[in-house]
Structure 1
């Protein structure tokens, strides 16, 4: 007992709980265990401040911390900002049973979950167990912290070779590292071996994940379907099924899988974001709006509480408005304008103005204000210099430029987005599938545009100017700011002997588009000749 007390005497521990009484209760138990250095924090913000000053050995954090960030949101921020040293033991405390992750220990999941109420002896046992596991794998976790996964594998081998009582923990960690290093055959062998020792849930899930990476889709799907029916592995199995279906470019099956898991974890930001993304691909835009609205609340106090998250709701409303009748569209755009004012109240304009202008440009296009849309996009480009653009922000720009007919800039942002979606995670996989969906849709629209334009040129060449006008007008409706089509339409209009009021208005609209856009230099002379032939 004395040696144990002297051991903890030199360790630092942080207790995070919103109850004064429980914090005091924790402190008294920790002092009995042998800790001398106990820091108390009443909420996540205070805990963050403490962690920026002190590299704690242990953190005991209640899951529910009142109205602000919860315990897991605090953990995410600490991990993201690298405020947890590799050997730190993070224990989540809750009055409700929390699901412990089966796969993903390489990402520094909480080390344990303590269910209230618990005794002094239970607290000491769990702290000691978490500490010994971390110490046994200390070199591996330090290597992971440095992103040196190959060295981490060697550290795990060292633990196994010395027949440590934590050899199976090392085996589990090593298998995940081998997957990360794309050494899939070795990972498969390790998981298969672990299953000969015992039917570990983590080994079965890891094996399914490995099958997926090996391209053995049928085996991966069958095993994941089986694991999704078991409470212990249901959430993660459905996550990996979603990834598998995305890799197979099957958004329907992916949406079905992620809808199931999203109901069980309404506060998981990235998972909900994947649901919203797949909903748009499947043309369930109302569902996407609902999910993004939920995310406004789910993201509060978390690392995802950003202007970009709020703009995602605005972007979802725009996608919804595109398919609505005029009355419903007007109501949606009014709702959108009101919501944009809310963002201005919460975040400094300088942090998101470059992205908001793109949203404004898309609104202008929906309202038929093409010239305004082009000016807003130009202003946005000036403000976005040296600014970080999120994947959602890049996709929004690509859509905006396509809608305004600037295909070169659309392709530019699609290319930039492609580079951003190479990360191996569920969110990037979903964004990547969305990008492919948009590219396919854009390609189909481009082909329709080319066909209509070609038909218009053919009709013009045969002297059927009325038919040419109809083809060019239909093409312009598909891409309302395309100056080349506007110029072709203007030329067809110029061949009519007299223009009625509707055609006169159409000609003036074409001129307005050409003035607002960027007509190629080699077309300027043609444009001036046409103007001289038109009596408007």
Structure 2
């Protein structure tokens, strides 16, 4: 509830015209909405909309850009406040200068930490006085104005210009210098200016102990493939600030790249205890736990992921398939099959049906129904006999298919599929380790190690041939070669990155060609979907944008013309 209090009178308060701002109040309690409206009106607010649930709120935010949103964390039915904020951020529905304030009577760590991960501008605990609201809004609004021009430049994809604006603001706003330096470093990374970003992180750390600067250096190590250094630095971040949750996720990713699944699981469990309402973290924890054979932990994580993700923008079918596997392993086949039936209803589509079918086969295997498992394996054997590389599913699904085939004695297509996985992930140690485990489980450990090495060598030879053609200036041949390589190995990131590089180089050296630029944009968009945050992707995207700026969408991602 709102406790009535005189708003403090100050020069800062009088300098802000609250009357011309647009507000949205979201609360399922009519009396609370009324009290919040009255509090805002006492500050001079005129344009106040209201919503009583998540669906109504999302519809309003989608259609109108509000200056100030006040949202209750707990809403009856559907989305909660955290999920509304998550969706608004994910869809870029919030103005650069807009304010999102989470309001709640809930003081629990789960609520506060979960919401904090999506960066509301404030988290206010009820009861809220008019004076408290006025003071907080004034403080936030003044800070927002410092960043408004920077945010607008960011929205235009003018990252270099936005970084320059940071310098201008630093000169006149020493109070916000630290935040501006942090923003500048992130902008420099988007410009491909890694050395300059590193210099900022180093400079800040020379002056004081700073969590974000240390995390920035750690992320640079992670992007460079220096996973050992990344692990050490992210652990230092956590030791210094155990609530810096992003460091846990990044540390787990570094451990996974080193093949250290148990360490990754431990880190994710620590983060999940601090903030259990992250859909992506619970899903990753479930997947890692399942690989380690910790079925109880996997089942717990997948159930939590499904629960908190029901109304989330991050909701996917993955945790349902993981939960079905966990139920199958603990000898609950009926429950597993019911989960698979549910997921097919919730996530209709060929990919979902395919994963449901292979998961069903694995559930039969786990429960000693060899006949049913073999029947499904024969279906996949027939499918693989006619499938091209582009028709094959994602690596995790391919791994499950190969596992099923080997378990029922269908060796040849399984081996081909596992080698295909390696060829598409030839520099990913965690994938190699998983494939080796499949071979070892099938009593093929030594043979599997040789097959893995041979598959890696073949993938490297394919890529190196295209790079050699490019470096010897045989650009047309290089483009043709890399197109063929993409058809053969459509999931190989190194081949995709080099394909984009060769297409862009062709235009730079041979002259403007919109078809080649569109092809490069398509490849870069695919890379970003497969593995967001790739350092080289950012560099190539900037090269592409310098040739044809209109080929980038509002989020700075590559899109083909007319898309």
TM-score range, shorter chain: 0.5 to 0.7
TM-score under structure 1 normalisation?
0.67
Q: Look up the SS of the partner of 1:288 in the other structure.
A: helix
- Matched with 1:12 is 22
Match of 1:371 in 2: 375
1:21 Cα shift? Answer: 1.6
Partners of 1:10 and 1:382 in 2: CA distance: 64
2:333 aligned partner: 333
Per the TM alignment, residue 40 of structure 1 is displaced from its structure 2 partner at its CA by: 0.9
Deviation at 1:265, TM superposition (A): 1.9
| Superposition map of 1:300-315 within 5 A | 300-315=310-325
Higher mean alpha-carbon deviation, 269-278 vs 21-30, is at 269-278
* Structure 2: gaps of 5 or more residues: 1-8, 449-563
**2:434 corresponds to which of 435, 438, 455:** 438
1:91 alignment partner in structure 2: 101
Q: Is the 8 A contact 1:184 1:213 kept in 2?
A: no
1:52 corresponding residue in structure 2? 62
How far off its partner does 1:7 sit? 2.5
Find the structure with the greater CA-based Rg: 1
Q: 1:127–1:394: structure 2 CA closer, same or farther, 3 Å change rule?
A: farther
Q: Residues 68 and 301 of structure 1 are in contact (CA less than 8 Å); yes or no, is this contact kept in structure 2?
A: yes
- CA offsets 1:485-524 (integer angstroms, 9 cap, x no match): xxxxxxxxxxxxxxxxxxxxxxxxxxxxxxxxxxxxxxxx
What secondary structure, in the 3-state scheme, does the structure 2 residue paired with 1:137 have?
helix
Decide whether aligned partners of structure 1 residues 120 and 198 sit closer, same or farther in structure 2, where only a CA change above 3 A counts: farther
Which SS does the other structure have where 1:244 is aligned?
helix
Match of 2:253 among 243, 253, 274: 243
* Shift in alpha-carbon separation, 1:217–1:120, aligned structure 2, 3 A: same
Which of 36, 39, 42 does residue 52 from structure 2 map onto?
A: 42
Q: CA deviation at 1:186?
A: 2.9
- Contact 1:315–1:396 (CA under 8 A) maintained in structure 2: no
**In the TM superposition, what whole-angstrom CA distance separates every residue of 1:359-415 from its partner, at most 9, and x where no partner exists?**
234345562232343226757999999999677555544545555542334444665
Q: Does 1:156 align with 2:160?
A: no
Structure 1 residue 357 displacement after superposition: 2.3
Matched, 1:358 2:368: no
**1:365-444 maps to which residues of 2 (within 5 A)?**
367-369=369-371, 370-375=374-379, 393=397, 395-397=399-401, 399-400=403-404, 403=407, 404-405=410-411, 406=413, 407-412=415-420, 418=425, 435-444=431-440
Hey, what does 2:129 align to over in structure 1?
119
Secondary structure at 1:72's aligned position in 2? helix
Q: Matches of 1:98 and 1:188 in 2, distance apart?
A: 37
Determine if contact 1:156/1:170 at 8 Å carries over to the other structure.
yes
> CA 1:46 to 1:443, structure 2 compared with 1: closer, same or farther past 3 Å?
same
Is residue 397–residue 413 contact of structure 1 (8 Å, CA) maintained in 2? no
Correspondent of 2:38 among 22, 28, 47: 28
Give the number of aligned pairs: 428
Match of 1:272 among 253, 258, 282: 282
1:47: Cα distance to partner?
0.7
Contact 1:13 1:58 in 2 (8 A): yes
Question: 2:199 is matched with which residue: 185, 189, 196?
Answer: 189
Q: Does 1:291 align with 2:280?
A: no
SS at match of 2:132: helix
Matches of 2:90 and 2:392 in 1, distance apart? 18
In 2: Cα distance, 1:8 partner to 1:383 partner: 62
Aligned to 1:253: 263
Helix, strand or coil for the counterpart of 2:94? coil
Q: Which has the higher contact order (CA 8 A, sep 6+)?
A: 2
SS in 2 for 1:93: strand
Mapped to 1, the partners of 2:423 and 2:389 lie a distance apart of: 17
Task: Work out whether 1:129 is the aligned partner of 2:139.
Answer: yes
Q: 1 CA distance for matches of 2:95 and 2:343?
A: 35
Q: Distance in 1 between matches of 2:195 and 2:423?
A: 33
Q: TM-score, normalised by structure 2?
A: 0.64
Task: State the superposition RMSD in angstroms.
Answer: 4.2
| Contact 1:395-1:414 within 8 A present in 2 as well | no
Residue 49 of structure 1, CA deviation = 0.9
Distance 1:16 1:444, change over 3 A: same
Query: How far apart in 1 are the matches of 2:447 and 2:257?
Result: 32
Q: Work out whether residues 89 and 111 of structure 1, in 8 Å CA contact, stay in contact via their aligned partners in 2.
A: yes
User: In the alignment, what sits opposite 2:558?
Assistant: none
Cα distance in 1 for partners of 2:327, 2:343 equals: 15
User: For the structure 1 residues 246 and 24, does the alpha-carbon distance in structure 2 shift closer, same or farther, using more than 3 Å as the test?
Assistant: same
Structure-2 change in CA distance of 1:438 and 1:137 (3 Å): same
Distance 1:281 1:272 in 2: 14
CA contact (8 A) 1:140 1:153 kept: yes
3-state SS of the aligned residue for 1:228?
helix
Q: 1:30 to 1:375 in 2, by over 3 A?
A: same
Q: Conserved in 2, the CA contact under 8 Å of 1:5 and 1:35?
A: no
